[in-house]
């Protein structure tokens, strides 16, 4: 190679390097669209057109069946596609443009359903229920059973006449998606296989937000993290069956972390019979009843670093009578409570159960928490004989009627209330028989007559 050719070759390489730079700088959204289109089936080949006036259900099914047979993805260009009763084949990879590719429910049944599928991937799609009623057999706008690998990313499920999404025995993830305006639950997930439900927006649903359930009490392993959940109602009423932002029922080994949960009719987070649940770093504002609840037959709960502002009760770890036990409640801030439940009419004895910052019963460490503005008790320890092995140390309570209420009923187990700061309470530590105060201020003496109770070194002002 002579010198002239060498120079020309170098200039060519330089030009090539310059030519590829614009592609490298291509916006992420454009790259996603390009990837979705590359190698995908052309919907128009099957007579599926955006903004067509007619229902396209038959052509849509044929398109998905062909894509499954070819193991090829399908890309939906921007526009509206009116369909109903789409039974998904064994493998589906369906993508669109977020906010622009809209699949609209035409009525008379359901929108999407799948059973015994291998892989279902939905990306960049809006599923619009148009507030039309679902058929009598349909639970949700998008309903999947026994799917080995499910992925929903950057989708929206809107205006469902039932629940938004219902999953049974499904493994996978739902991420960066929106569920809004459901007439029942945003997401009902039962018998999951380690689902990841992360960074979604859920709002304005009539009965509940994100539900992680099992038919029988067992390990589940789902992760519910980074979601924003707002304005969850309880249209069917009740005393906590509905109206919860996140509800974990019988599902063990679940982590609920770093969620923003506002304006729920009942609890922001409610864990019922859920072993080894961790509720960490959540922000819970304006809950109608108990903001964070661990109840009934659970063993093992960590409730830590949560912020509760506005609720009838802050945090409750309850039901030793049903086997509920073993908890750490650490580093939480609870403030601005009210002493009334969200349901009316209610009897005075019911109202007496509200207005408490943090309540625990059995085998629990209660440490490093701050409660401010509790109309009744900053901390409630035990209920009747349902009290065992509680250590309440290093907590701060301000502006509560009573700092600590503790059960002194016969049969109550061991409790230590020590090294806490109690500021601005009418009484610092009071003994209770069920709902009735039966002692003076135990922080000023007289606690020694209760063999199960030690009250010492608290700073009262």
The Cα 333–Cα 278 span in angstroms is 17
Q: With cut-offs at 50, 70 and 90, classify the pLDDT of residue 126.
A: very high
The Cα 411–Cα 262 span in angstroms is 39
- pLDDT tens digits along 59-91: 999 999 999 999 999 999 999 999 999 999 999
Nearest one of 340, 343, 341, 370 to 357, comparing CA atoms: 370
Q: Check residue 360 and give its pLDDT.
A: 98
Mean pLDDT of 100-108: 97
Mean pLDDT of 102-127: 97
Mean pLDDT of 123-150: 97
Q: With cut-offs at 50, 70 and 90, classify the pLDDT of residue 446.
A: confident
Please count the residues of the chain. 461
Which neighbouring-strand residues pair with 142?
Answer: 112, 165
The Cα 201–Cα 228 span in angstroms is 5
Triad 116, 166, 319: Cα angle to 5°: 115
Q: Check residue 65 and give its pLDDT.
A: 96
Compute, in degrees rounded to 10, the torsion defined by CA atoms 167, 168, 172, 174: 20
Q: With cut-offs at 50, 70 and 90, classify the pLDDT of residue 40.
A: confident
Q: With cut-offs at 50, 70 and 90, classify the pLDDT of residue 38.
A: low
3-state secondary structure (DSSP) of residue 30 = helix
Q: With cut-offs at 50, 70 and 90, classify the pLDDT of residue 36.
A: very low
What values do phi and psi take at 204, rounded to 5?
55, 50
Asked whether 117 and 90 are in contact (CB, 8 A), the reply is: yes
Q: What is the largest CA-CA distance in the chain?
A: 105
The Cα 186–Cα 247 span in angstroms is 11
Ranges of H-type helices in 2-101:
3-24, 28-37, 57-70
**Chain-wide mean pLDDT for the chain?**
91
Q: Check residue 346 and give its pLDDT.
A: 64
- pLDDT tens digits along 331-382: 999 999 999 888 776 655 665 689 999 999 999 999 999 999 999 999 999 9
Q: Is the pLDDT of residue 251 over 80?
A: yes
Q: Is the pLDDT of residue 187 over 60?
A: yes
The Cα 246–Cα 241 span in angstroms is 12
Q: With cut-offs at 50, 70 and 90, classify the pLDDT of residue 94.
A: very high
Q: Check residue 447 and give its pLDDT.
A: 84
The Cα 374–Cα 372 span in angstroms is 6
């Amino acid at each position: 190679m002579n010198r002239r050719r060498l120079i020309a070759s170098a200039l060519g390489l330089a030009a090539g390097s310059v030519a590829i730079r614009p592609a490298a700088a291509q916006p992420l959204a454009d790259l996603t669209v390009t990837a979705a289109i590359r190698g995908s089936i052309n919907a128009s080949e099957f007579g599926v057109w955006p903004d067509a006036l007619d229902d396209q259900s038959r052509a849509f099914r044929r398109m998905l069946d062909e894509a499954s047979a070819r193991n090829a993805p399908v890309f939906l260009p921007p526009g509206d596609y009116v369909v109903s009763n789409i039974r998904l084949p064994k493998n589906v990879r369906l993508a669109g443009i977020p906010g622009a590719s809209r699949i609209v429910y035409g009525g008379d049944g359901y929108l999407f359903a799948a059973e015994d599928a291998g892989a279902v991937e939905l990306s960049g799609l809006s599923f619009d229920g148009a507030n039309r009623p679902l058929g009598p057999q349909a639970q949700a706008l998008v309903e999947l059973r026994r799917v080995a690998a499910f992925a929903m990313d950057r989708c929206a499920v809107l205006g469902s006449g039932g629940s938004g999404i219902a999953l049974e025995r499904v493994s996978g993830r739902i991420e960066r998606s929106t569920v809004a305006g459901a007439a029942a639950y945003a997401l009902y997930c039962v018998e999951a296989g380690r689902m990841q439900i992360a960074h979604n927006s859920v709002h304005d649903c009539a009965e509940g937000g994100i539900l992680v359930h099992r038919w029988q009490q067992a390990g589940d392993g789902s992760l519910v993290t980074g979601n924003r959940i707002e304005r969850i109602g309880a249209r069917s009423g009740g005393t906590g069956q509905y109206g919860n932002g996140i509800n974990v029922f019988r599902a063990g080994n679940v982590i609920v972390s770093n969620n923003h949960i506002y304006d729920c009719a009942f609890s922001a987070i409610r864990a019922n019979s859920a072993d080894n649940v961790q509720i960490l770093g959540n922000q819970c504002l304006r809950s109608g009843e108990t903001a964070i609840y661990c109840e009934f037959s659970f063993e093992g709960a960590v409730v830590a670093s949560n912020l509760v502002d506005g609720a009838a009760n802050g945090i409750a770890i309850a039901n030793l009578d049903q086997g509920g036990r073993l908890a750490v409640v650490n580093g939480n801030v609870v403030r601005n409570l009210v002493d009334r439940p969200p349901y009316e009419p209610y009897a005075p004895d019911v109202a007496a159960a509200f207005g408490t910052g943090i309540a625990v019963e059995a085998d629990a460490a209660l440490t490093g928490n701050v409660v401010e503005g509790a109309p009744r008790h900053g901390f409630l320890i035990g209920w009747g004989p349902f009290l065992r092995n509680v250590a309440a140390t290093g907590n701060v309570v301000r502006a509560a009627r009573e700092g600590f209420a503790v059960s002194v009923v016969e049969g109550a187990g061991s409790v230590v209330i020590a090294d806490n700061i109690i500021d601005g309470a009418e009484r610092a530590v009071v003994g209770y028989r069920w709902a009735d105060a039966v002692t003076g201020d135990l922080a000023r003496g007289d606690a020694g007559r209760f063999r199960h109770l030690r009250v010492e070194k608290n700073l009262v002002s």
